[in-house]
A and B are shown apart, each in its own frame.
Chain A
């Protein structure tokens, strides 16, 4: 669960003290800010996507290497009763 004591403190500190000029600047630059946020998220998404693909390949490689290994008992040499 979110820590609301912290979140409310952070939020109130800004909303109660923001100047008229800061409001105006924020509002005027809203489209630029939106674009920057999008770019940042897309970049993070690209990196995370590569990470997921890498982890899947690594997982497959580990399984293949494990199955090849002589030290592992595979199904063909288990005597089922």
Chain B
């Protein structure tokens, strides 16, 4: 199975040879390589998140990435009903057990570290998920979020089979 996705990063490090590993504290499912499925949202993410004051070049880059993997290694919580409900069931089961011990709610990053530590789901290399919409003009019309903000999280870089720089863009603000 092959899918084409996009990656964006500030131009501070120049043109990258490979996607940047994202730190789990700020990410949906812990450390990993995160991609956008739609080009439009990639551009928006570049303007919105990669053009903060720390971006000294006032530019960001967009890359096209090919992901090649076996369909058994893929959890698709966006378009596959079975994947979605089973995934939610596992998260809730983990959260319940965690809360019983530690009297607080876990983070998704902790869930991810848990499955890694106990070597469950070892074959899973990629998860497609729907990110939480913010006040984003691309996905919202009059308060109605009609479009999904789809992201892909890869935890096995070996499935990243191609990585090509598409464009360098100027920050709009």
Contacts and interface: CB of A to CB of B under 8 A. Distances in A.
**A and B associate:** yes
Interface of A: 1-4, 7-8, 10-15, 18, 20, 23, 26-27, 30, 33-34, 37-38, 41-42, 44-49, 52-53
A37 B113 contact: yes
Nearest to B161: A52
B86 interface: yes
The majority secondary structure among interface residues of chain A is helix
B172 to A, nearest CB: 30
Contact of A37 (B31, B33, B118, B120): B31
B130 to A, nearest CB: 17
Contacts of A45: 18-19, 21, 33, 157, 160
Contacts of B94: 15
A44 B156 contact: yes
Contacts, number: 99
Contacts of A26: 113-114, 117-118
Interface residues on B, range: 35 or more
Contact of B116 (A7, A10, A33, A48): A33
B72 A3 contact: yes
Nearest to A34: B113
Interface of B: 17-19, 21, 23-24, 30-33, 71-76, 80, 82-83, 86, 89-90, 93-94, 97, 101-102, 109-110, 113-118, 120-121, 124, 155-158, 160-163
Nearest to A10: B120
5 contacts: A11-B90, A20-B101, A46-B18, A48-B160, A52-B163
A44 B118 contact: no
A10 B123 CA distance: 11
B30 to A, nearest CB: 8
B74 A2 contact: yes
Given A7-B121, A38-B21, A49-B18, A2 B163 contact: no
Contact of B86 (A8, A42, A48): A8
Contact of A34 (B31, B82, B157, B161): B31
A26 B113 CA distance: 9
B31 A52 contact: no
Contacts of A49: 17-18, 163
Contacts of B163: 49, 52
Given A8-B86, A44-B158, A2 B117 contact: no
